[in-house]
Structure 1
């Protein structure tokens, strides 16, 4: 299956304002910080160790506490880093296999933590509240694993693409591998994209639209690919079915090992995990829209079509996912090489804080709607509007005078 690739004639992004020319022996200042991303799949081990040591059941909730309380504070305290790797360093950064191992190691920790979690949940020593907390902790690991799968799934090496689908098995979200690469990256920041949130659309309305829309889109894309090759959609060559089969094998093996009573918890952690992915999706393109060209096609995706954040903590734990504009310009570019764009719209904080805002629609709209409007110079008609709220948005914001 072909994956998006860098176009040879794609212009390089400008260096951040005030960035110096590349020294001959430039080193990534975040080089060793990327290992901190492995703390996330270690959450179940941390929960177990801290609870055993202190006797406090609150540590079974390590995942939600870190993701929703600690990370937003740390993001704010550490602040931002908008520095870019110099152009002359990118080739060496891309070739350095150290960065790949930072993502590869996520998977053995992810699945050993899942096995530990299943054992702890089913052995009978935990209260119902403790089991819920541990289930959400497992779901947090699974949700961030989708981001790891995202990094791996964009690469051209067969090993990384296989590991991507393995990382997705815990959440039954293997279809993401197809839809994200061949659907979202084509339709991003358009009304047709189920993963691009619209101005005026709450996260709770976006969630069912993106979950169902992404699933059906992935199936149609795979059906079209197989039809072109003269194969049936119900064949072993169907990437979506193969990915779901991995999930079925995983859940069956865990149910056989720990009993069928583990299945409700496995289901709950999977749902929490993919909802965590989708709330991040919600933040990434909210209200942003590509305009149509005179030919009727959408303009090429540009930095202005993605919300970015240079908050260091979230970027380290999410493999630079917040440098989303460069990712859409160069989908196969590795996370350590992604760059800041001065022209990209900037979120007020990192993803950790933004997802908390997204859960409360009035707060989200108060913070983000004015930013969308400012991004379009006050002309709300240029934004990607939620159809049921279109009249209300036009009545509230009107439209700016025509440009030019």
Structure 2
């Protein structure tokens, strides 16, 4: 008997987010600036609420269904369709920005709206960029262009996946590290890493670094070309808007990076090499709503173990540490450090059986988690006891 994906009819919901700006535009015609807050409120208000009501879904596709499910083109076309909706939303938002109609409240909502759509598009780019088909890899760069984060294509695949859950990885957050300290470390570290990785690849092939074959440069060129086209269409007034929404977009990616591996560390073996990546090295969530909206990014452990698996085939594991909520909720928690520490630090420590030294610990926060040895008791002679 053929297995049927019970979520097959739900996956098109992933295309709702890039359509929200159009709802915002229509509402703004009636309600004014407040209409441009439809997308932020839906993503960080309604989706977390629905996540709680819909609950968990821990079902895995059977191994016998893998080949058919992996090859079903219905699923990949859903990722393709995100891009035209993304770019149409970007064009509409640019037109509204230069129209002069939004007031300060509307301008902030417009930047957040566009940044959220292009930030979630990075997740679509993530799904496409892991595949072997050249068309999907190019579509990945196109999805990254509005956020100006084309180097993610190189760094994520060849850097993060190699160094994940180690102190050397700029995209793996450390226990005790706040998101606001993590942000500059990962943004600058990922950019430098991408350039080093691509430069090394080209030099090994005896090619020049400054070439159209440079995956970082050609991805950045797409962002530049997009900026030129939008400036030609809407005028120079659109440039501050494009810059601000790009920062929102790639910051949304980085806050997701922050929560995906927070405090988790692969241990070194006797030879000094890190153990292989397994389900213990990523935080997972089986919240069905956010998994549908994010092409199942929250089944992150299986993704790291099997990067070529398409989203519809990803599995959940009992050994994976579980987040207490879906990504939409955890993003809000992550940007408030005291709340984040209260929610997550004890989970990291419990994951390592109370041995915090096994965690990926921020050196600046060591004193908070590692107790100092008790002071030595003086002997009668005045010397320290052993």
1:300 match: 276
Of 285, 291, 297, which residue of structure 2 is paired with 1:321? 297
Q: Does 1:50 align with 2:27?
A: yes
Secondary structure of 1:196's partner? coil
Secondary structure of 1:243's partner? helix
State the alpha-carbon separation in 1 of the partners of residues 103 and 365 from structure 2: 44
State the alpha-carbon separation in 1 of the partners of residues 188 and 23 from structure 2: 34
1:30 match: 7
Q: Does 1:234 align with 2:210?
A: yes
Q: Does 1:112 align with 2:91?
A: no
Of 179, 197, 201, which residue of structure 2 is paired with 1:203? 179
Q: Which of structures 1 and 2 has the bigger CA Rg?
A: 2
1:19-52 alpha-carbon deviations (Å, 9 max, x no partner): xxxxx22111110111001011112111112222
Contact 1:136 1:272 in 2 (8 A): yes
Contact 2:349 2:355 in 1 (8 A): yes
Question: Which segments of structure 1 move beyond 3 Å, counting only runs of 4 or more?
Answer: none
Q: How many residues align?
A: 374
Of 143, 151, 162, which residue of structure 2 is paired with 1:175? 151
2:384 match: none
**RMSD of aligned C-alpha atoms?**
1.3
**Which runs of no fewer than 5 residues in structure 2 stay unpaired?**
375-386
Contact 2:34 2:105 in 1 (8 A): no
Q: Does 1:156 align with 2:132?
A: yes
1:346 match: 322
Say if 1:309 and 1:397 are closer, same or farther in 2 by CA, change over 3 A. farther
TM-score of the pair, normalised by structure 2 = 0.95
Q: Does 1:219 align with 2:191?
A: no
State the alpha-carbon separation in 2 of the partners of residues 139 and 129 from structure 1: 15
Shift of 1:286: 0.3
1:302-339 alpha-carbon deviations (Å, 9 max, x no partner): 10000000001110000000000000010010000000
**TM alignment of 1:220-369, pairs within 5 A:** 220-369=196-345
Shift of 1:123: 1.4
1:41 match: 18
Shift of 1:260: 0.3
State the alpha-carbon separation in 2 of the partners of residues 61 and 359 from structure 1: 19
Secondary structure of 2:270's partner? coil
1:193-230 alpha-carbon deviations (Å, 9 max, x no partner): 00000000000000000000000000000000000010
1:124 match: 100
Shift of 1:56: 4.3
**TM alignment of 1:75-154, pairs within 5 A:** 75-154=51-130
**Which runs of no fewer than 5 residues in structure 1 stay unpaired?**
1-23, 399-404
